[in-house]
Amino acid sequence: DPLPKLFQPLTIRGLKLKNRAVVSPMCMYSSQDGFATNFHLVHIGQYALRGLGLTIMEAAGVLPEGRITPNCLGIWKDEHIDKLKQIVDFVHSNKGAIGIQLAHAGRKSSTNAMWLMKEQGANADEQHGGWPDNVVGPSAIPFNEHSYEPKELSIKEIRRIQNAFADSAVRADIAGFDVIEIHGAHGYLAHQFLSPISNKRTDEYGGSFENRIRFLVETARGIRKVWPKEKPLFVRLSITDWVAPSEDIPTGGWTEEESIELAKILSKEGVDLIDCSTSGSSPKQQLPPLFPGYQIPFAAAIKKEIPALLSGAVGLITDAKQANDALEANSADLIFLGRVLLRNPNFVIDGAAELGIFPQSAHQYERGR
């Protein structure tokens, strides 16, 4: 019998993944000045030991003011490379693959980690390492009534950010990462350009669909230029904003139809996989009732509409059978796992037992089978 698809390898460009279980990027708010630490080594390292096929490290700021919080990971300077490389090397020495998510938070930057909010408030002020005066966005529209008001980016500043993405990609390559994922979702900067809710620009970066996607498409192109041909490039999108047109927001939000059109263009730019999330662009979003795997249909739609692209499914996928079913149904090529891995890093080991095969964990753990 062939292996259950969750445990089948997948080759993307020059990268061979040993299985289809991926650690979804998750902010750990455990950095100072953007540096990865031993916390990250142990946290990411545990997934390599426990057989996850690919780990995507959390959103890493391509510029200090592009971090979500003062404690977010960064990759904006060469000094960051050393510790990242140590983590990458550890994962590789345990036959895992590792990527990093490159991010700029735009108008959702200078906030606080959830566990600091009670003491320090939702926003990080200057006293707590924040940058209230350097919060930027496509337009000067705050995310909600409590957020800092972003400054509208000039064309020159847009160029600087795009260059920072490309420079960060070079650093990621030097550190040895196998995959880059561009954070184009959850209401952060690239998504702020995509969504008419946050983008009211009247220049070539706002208005029409073609103009709103320009920032992300150019950023992907800039990264692909410096990122080695044999290494995969992923983009995480919020496939929909879940915001319908209303009196309040006559344009409505970013839509699934637009995501599919954008994905076609990204595919031509050398993007290999769309990681299909949703939401984050507006506090006015109206999520449907959530159920296990509720975002899988978006990954399926991307695969169906653009056969050249791979897709990743994410969101409330919590057991191996459910993950495997989505793959067997050809709804996705990779399964991204978030919170379940915070609860149970042994997802792959347990899942293999559940599906009746041998797990792909470290040799040192084999006697636990």
181's CB contacts (< 8 A; 6+ apart) are 25, 56, 99, 100, 101, 102, 233, 234, 235, 236, 275
- Does 277 engage in binding with ligand FNR (CB under 6 A)? yes
Q: Which one from 47, 188, 205, 365 is the annotated catalytic residue?
A: 188
Nearest to 63 by CA among 174, 159, 206: 159
CB of 363 to ligand FNR, least distance (A): 28
For ligand FNR, the binding residue among 316, 353, 355, 357 (CB under 6 A) is 316
The answer to whether 345 touches 362, Cβ cutoff 8 Å, is no
The answer to whether 181 touches 25, Cβ cutoff 8 Å, is yes
CB of 106 to ligand FNR, least distance (A): 14
CB of 181 to ligand FNR, least distance (A): 8
Nearer to ligand FNR, 201 or 236 (CB): 236
- Does 117 engage in binding with ligand FNR (CB under 6 A)? no
Nearest to 241 by CA among 190, 199, 283: 283
Residue type, 11: T
Q: Which stretch binds ligand FNR (CB under 6 A): 133-141, 153-161, 182-190, 350-358?
A: 182-190
- Does 315 engage in binding with ligand FNR (CB under 6 A)? yes
- Does 21 engage in binding with ligand FNR (CB under 6 A)? no
Residue type, 295: Q
- Does 6 engage in binding with ligand FNR (CB under 6 A)? no
Judge whether 188 counts as a catalytic residue.
yes
Residue type, 296: I
- Does 213 engage in binding with ligand FNR (CB under 6 A)? no
247's CB contacts (< 8 A; 6+ apart) are none
In this structure, the strands spanning 15-17 and 10-12 are antiparallel
| Rounded Cα gap, residues 231 and 180, in angstroms | 8
For ligand FNR, the binding residue among 58, 178, 241, 258 (CB under 6 A) is 58
User: x/- site string to ligand FNR, residues 145 to 174, per CB under 6 A?
Assistant: ------------------------------
Count interface residues toward ligand FNR (CB under 6 A): 20
* Ordered DSSP codes for 301-323: HHHHH-TTSEEEEESS--SHHHH
Residue entry with tokens 């496939």? 239
- Does 106 engage in binding with ligand FNR (CB under 6 A)? no
Q: Which stretch binds ligand FNR (CB under 6 A): 157-165, 196-204, 206-214, 331-339?
A: 331-339
- Does 101 engage in binding with ligand FNR (CB under 6 A)? yes
The catalytic residues are 188
Residues at the interface with ligand FNR (CB under 6 A) = 24-27, 58-59, 101, 183, 185-186, 236, 277, 314-317, 337-340
